[in-house]
Amino acid sequence: MQSVSIRDWANSPLFNPDLDADSLPAVTGLRDAILAANVLMLASPEYATA
């Protein structure tokens, strides 16, 4: 069985240790998705051919 999920990061806040991350729906949704996954693959495009 193959499953692919692509997340939209537009609603994810930048890291800020002063925020209570547990109260942000985008953060809790991401955390729940990671905990439920068997595999996590992160990919990032090359920036400015550097």
Q: Is the separation of the CB atoms in 12 and 26 below 8 Å?
A: yes
The two tokens of residue 15 are 């890291």
Q: What is the pTM of this model?
A: 0.61
How many independent structural domains does the chain possess? Answer: 1
Q: Note down the domain range covering 49.
A: 1-50
What does the pLDDT look like over 21-37, one tens digit per residue? 677 888 888 888 888 88
What does the pLDDT look like over 5-24, one tens digit per residue? 777 778 888 888 887 767 78
The two tokens of residue 32 are 């729940």
